Structure 1
Amino acid sequence: MNRYGTPNYLPKNYMESVLKDFFIGKGCKLIAPGELKLPDDVVEDLDIILRDASNIIFIKIVSEYVRTYVRSRKIIEKILSKLIHYYKYADKVYLAIPRGFILKSSFDRDFIRNLGVGIIEVDEQGRVSELYPAIPRFKRWNYQMVQPSFPKLDLLERRLSLLEERVSKLESRLSEICEELKHRSEFSSMIAEAKVSSTPAKVVDIEEELEGLPEYVRDNEWVNVLISRRRVKK
């Protein structure tokens, strides 16, 4: 993982050079695809072919910039489902990825071991480490042709999907509430304006009715009420 919390990326030619040096340093020899009778689609898909004594080793390099671990997991899942078929032609098969391209905790360890495909990492300093060893063809037992499974990330994806649905519903409801509050605010403003505009006129009319009467009559609140009722009847 880099400092941005996203999967790491390394150029493919850099990873290829590092891996060749690493395996040659262990006594392996590079061999040209033409030396083996391989289908064209297999040759095109592989990045490095090696010979270790009498064993043939295939290496597929993943070097793709992705923004999320969910995306990197899907890439690895797809490639692994293809690499398992290459054991028809090789004794060991490896998938090489940049260090931090995927979280190791997301792997189903037992499944990867039974699958037999090795997973190796390359870092920016040119160091190579083995996450999972490649199981030699003659030792690959209890093998089942099934799609790779990453239960922890699958569960996380389902939970994220449910959260997205809930957030969407909350946003919709919040929008409705805001619209309702807006209408209420406008209605309240209209009522307030109506009260303000009507009150002065009413006060002036009553004062005109009381004009000329004694002060003790003008100050009597019941007189004001009677005048108001009479105006309503009119």
Structure 2
Amino acid sequence: MNLEQLNPKKRFSSRTQNYSKYRPDYPNEIINYLQEFIGLSKTSVIADIGSGTGICTKTFLDNGNTVYAVEPNEDMRQVAEHLLKAYDNFHSIDGSSENTKLKSKSIDIITAAQAFHWFDPKPTKEEFLRILKPNSVVVLLWNIRNAKSDGFMQDYLKLIQKYGESYTNDSTNDFIPKFFDNRTVHKKVFPNPQLADFDRLKGELASFSYIPTESNPNFQPMISELQDLFKKYNNYGNVVLEYETHLYYCKVK
């Protein structure tokens, strides 16, 4: 299935509220790491491409950076504009990875969080090279469930595999080196566990685009199984969603 069929710019519209409320954020340690290894400073100008509801954008706004949040989905963009309206250094852009509407050579660091696999590689690469200043860096981020964990996470992943619809077979081992023309790509993994009551667990599950919606006949059986998992594994009303934040960076100019 190609990107056009997957409709990445609109497929999250019905999940915007769950996405903004329940998706995990990013650990503060990534700021220290990027300060050390790519020279991130408070004066660095960031373009957060595929910024969604602003989860990653906020991480850099809190560091004092000017951030241009580029998002093609109107519903997600409006949520970010509401949540981040207090930040003077926040700029919301109705654009995409292929057409950011940003000035040439205006950006120090490009970030893409939970979004890079949705981009059309060739026009995106051309656009990134256009907007980046010399000696600039692209940073990619994903929050990924820890598949090596036992207990709750193993059973939760089995539930997702049972009810989720596969949407891509791509692997970061393949498309990241290809996108960067086999330049050196650095990787760092950060633990990012999330404490979740049942409402958060249900909301986070429903935020994923490959999970059945409430109108789907599989939704209620899925939620019933999720309730059984929660009853089995919760500790004083919470379970731990064991996430890891995978960070990649590459100097592209």
Decide which structure has the larger Cα Rg and report it: 1
* Higher relative contact order, chain-length normalized (CA < 8 Å, sep 6+): 2
Asked if Structure 1 and Structure 2 have the same fold, meaning a TM-score greater than 0.5 normalized by the shorter chain, the answer is no
TM-score normalized with structure 1 length:
0.28
